[in-house]
Structure 1
Amino acid sequence: MPKLDITQSFVDTVKVESEASSTDFYDKKLVGLLLKVLPSGRKTFYLRYKDTENCSCQRKIGNAVILNITEARDLARLYLAKISLGQDPFLHAPISPSPTLGSFALEDYLPYVKTYKKSWNMDESRLRNHLLPRFRNRRMSDIKKRDVVALINELAENFKPGTINRVTILLRYMFNLAMKWEIKGVTRNPTAGIPLLKENNQNERFLSALDAKALLRAINYSRNKMLKHIIPMLILTGARKREVLDAKWEDFDLDRGIWRIPNTKSGKARVVPLSDTARNLIEKLSANQCCDYVFANPNTRKPYASFYYSWHTARKDAGLADLRVHDLRHSFASFLVNAGRSLYEVQTLLGHSQITTTQRYAHLSTDSLRRASNEVSVAVPELT
């Protein structure tokens, strides 16, 4: 969002790159005034402000072909003065009805994020499970801040802060896009000013050997027959859930014992060396290939969007109700560290781009470090 002292010369000559959807130029002289420039050359003045509910709003002032910068500033000052007095200068302006959240989500938002976002299916899941049940038929212009707060309070009864924050962030992004795309009737974001909940990201769970055995027993009784393959693969490789679910047969070279993950969180491909057990798991599955995906849903022959319910049942049956799928990745790291493997080896196997990310497991290596320090006593027995 470039900020500058907008001049009439700038308004007359500014252009944006053809691949950009639009660019907003914010005026330094008058806070809230902006010039939106489209690749087509269309230029429009807008005013951004907070309404009486402290929601962020954006309303059109006028076409830059008709208004010059001085006139736009004068109108913006007039509107801001009325807003400061608690009035709505746009109250009687004709407002086109906005789309419902459901129609915007399904017809505009999801088709857009599918073009670039690898985790779009997570957005789809959050929409289906949390946002659409409440807001599907509500016009976006009718969704208020109090509605968002009510949703957060309702979710807090059954979900952790991290889950609730992901839902809030999704809703915020959707409204920001609707305003950026100039969707009719969407002039404010009801999530503005609503803080995210505090998350305790250090509350990580690590499987013990006994925990792992209990979990493996439970998944063998799961109605989801693929779960008994997915969970061991996660534990044996430390891969992320989406990496396993999206794995294709073509990604594996069993002769060399490697798995190439083409799309990782960092955006770079990485190669995972397979243990003998992991390789045997893939070899057994290869006897019953039904599609391109190794861990496909047998009903759809596509990757699972989620296996939450079968996972939730299995972890409860194993007495591990607080265990998250991502904790299996942490457990892979803890098994390595406690076996005396270096943090560098753990970093490489997990695919961390920064060693600082792997250092979260350093506290687990106390016993191996103690064994290492004892080597000094062995080398210099006179110290004992």
Structure 2
Amino acid sequence: MVSRTIPFTASIFESHPRPKSGQSPIVKRREGVKYQQVTFYANTISLGISKTFKGQRFNEVIGHWPEMSISTFDKIARERVSKIELGYYNKAASLLIGDFFIDYVLPMMESRNRDIESVKTRWRRVAPFFAHQALGDVSKLQITQFLTELSTQVKGSTVNRHLSLLSRIFSLAVELELLIVNPCKGIKKWPENNIRDRVLSDDELRIYIREAIHINSFQSKALLFSLITGLRIGNVIDIRREMLSDDLTLLTLPMTKNGKSYRVMLNEPAREVLKSCAELSWNGWIFPSAVKEGAHIAYPRSCHEKIRDVVLQSTGGSESFNIHDLRRTYASRQLMLTGDARLVQSSLFHQSITTTERYAFHQQSKLAEASQSTALSLLSGNSELRL
């Protein structure tokens, strides 16, 4: 007769048979402590508790071996059982990840994250792998396997966004005391090799601004405003009258991409653009839609492409640029003028200086000039140096 209990030791776990992929997991209870159990899957070993108390069944996965040691599991399991017997057990710990995301994570992110549609897009990729698993039944290995498979289909930056979503789900579970450890902790980000360094040259800027002024539409003015303030185009088209001070010197953004609000001091050219739009606007939006009643303009992609084509044709350029490159151009120019990366970070509302460094690129001529002057300074006492 096959025993239903086993000693909980590393050697026993290592030598115990595993089910093949697709087969039912093997569940064993611990000798002497039968409410503790181990579940053997094809690729993981989970540690949990299963106990009936006052007619109610309690099941919870606490961790995975070897990431969680047997002694740590034993300590946590005893604390859990103590809470059950004292009536403090939290049933939410056995929530399915899909239910937890819909009921807890998504509402929280909708209230704090501006770019919620991209969050939903990422969830659609995550859901088939994790939605039907218990919240505490996902290991670091499973997450890594999912991300590795995903990396064969999308860029490294996209993989990292999915890792960020998974980490946010499990971090919230930890905050709500449903989990002890976030299984995403310690998973390294994928290398990103798609960092853009496209900024507009002086000639391109001159023609872009000239064409935007010539078109003289709400769309072209929104693009111009994005260029001269460095604001994301999504924030620009979302501007309402009540977000502006009476003298148009201050713009209050209630929510940006990172979920935080910011106050923006507006420069004079930006105020001129806002003033011209506010005088013509027929609703609460500074950039109102002529197509959809009571709404702001849509993403001005076609207007940008029209201006871009004129720029490339006039300059003979072949390297295209997108709307976000206007923001990158603003950052690069501000860094060149001030030399202050922290100031640029504040201007762009970046939480990390690393992100700012991806946006702000010095012109090659400036880098060459800086390199030349630095070398001459270093060699100033060795004028007769010959190499």
Q: Could you state the TM-score of these two structures normalised by the residue count of structure 1?
A: 0.52
Q: What is the percent sequence identity of the aligned residues?
A: 20
Within a 5 Å distance, the mapping from 1:1-384 to structure 2 comes to: 49-51=63-65, 61=78, 62-64=80-82, 98-99=95-96, 101=98, 103-115=99-111, 117=112, 120-122=113-115, 124-133=116-125, 135=127, 138-141=131-134, 145-146=141-142, 149-150=145-146, 153-154=149-150, 157-158=153-154, 160-178=155-173, 180-181=175-176, 191=184, 194-199=187-192, 203-212=196-205, 227-241=219-233, 243-253=235-245, 256-263=247-254, 269-276=262-269, 278-295=270-287, 299=292, 301=294, 307=299, 320-321=319-320, 323=322, 325=324, 327-336=325-334, 341-343=337-339, 347=343, 350=347, 363-364=362-363, 366=366
Change (3 A) 1:177 1:309: farther
CA distance in 2, matches of 1:99, 1:315: 49
Query: Any stretches of 5+ residues in structure 2 without a counterpart?
Result: 1-46, 48-59, 313-317, 374-387
Conserved? CA contact 1:235–1:332, under 8 Å: yes
Deviation string 1:231-270 (CA, Å, 9 cap, x unpaired) is 221101122445424422133357x452323557796754
Conserved? CA contact 1:260–1:271, under 8 Å: yes
Instruction: State the superposition RMSD in angstroms.
Output: 5.6
Amino acid at match of 1:208: S
**Shift of residue 347, structure 1, vs aligned partner:** 3.0
Conserved? CA contact 1:126–1:167, under 8 Å: no
Conserved? CA contact 1:261–1:271, under 8 Å: yes
Q: Secondary structure of 1:196's match?
A: coil
Kindly tell me the number of residue pairs found equivalent between the two proteins. 287
For the pair shown, which has the larger CA radius of gyration, 1 or 2? Answer: 2
Deviation string 1:129-149 (CA, Å, 9 cap, x unpaired) is 232255169313387755764
Deviation string 1:160-199 (CA, Å, 9 cap, x unpaired) is 433331221112211332355466xx89866455421123
Deviation string 1:28-83 (CA, Å, 9 cap, x unpaired) is xxxxx9xxxxxxxxxxxx9854336999x987543435779xxxxxxxxxxxxxxx
CA distance in 2, matches of 1:249, 1:294: 6
**Shift of residue 324, structure 1, vs aligned partner:** 6.4
**Shift of residue 96, structure 1, vs aligned partner:** 9.2
| Number of the residue aligned with 2:8 | none
Conserved? CA contact 2:229–2:330, under 8 Å: yes
Conserved? CA contact 2:96–2:133, under 8 Å: yes
CA distance in 2, matches of 1:180, 1:266: 19
CA distance in 2, matches of 1:247, 1:165: 30
CA distance in 1, matches of 2:145, 2:227: 38
**Shift of residue 323, structure 1, vs aligned partner:** 4.4
Change (3 A) 1:168 1:302: farther
CA distance in 2, matches of 1:316, 1:140: 48
Change (3 A) 1:157 1:346: same
Q: Secondary structure of 2:251's match?
A: strand
Deviation string 1:298-324 (CA, Å, 9 cap, x unpaired) is 6485678x9497699779966655646
Q: Secondary structure of 1:64's match?
A: helix
Conserved? CA contact 2:218–2:277, under 8 Å: no
Deviates more, 1:231-240 or 1:160-169: 160-169
Change (3 A) 1:188 1:286: same
CA distance in 2, matches of 1:292, 1:351: 25
Conserved? CA contact 1:248–1:294, under 8 Å: yes
Q: Secondary structure of 1:121's match?
A: coil
CA distance in 1, matches of 2:262, 2:219: 25
| Number of the residue aligned with 1:85 | none
Query: Any stretches of 5+ residues in structure 1 without a counterpart?
Result: 1-32, 34-45, 69-93, 374-384
Amino acid at match of 1:125: E
Amino acid at match of 1:196: K
Q: Secondary structure of 1:332's match?
A: helix
CA distance in 1, matches of 2:265, 2:93: 54
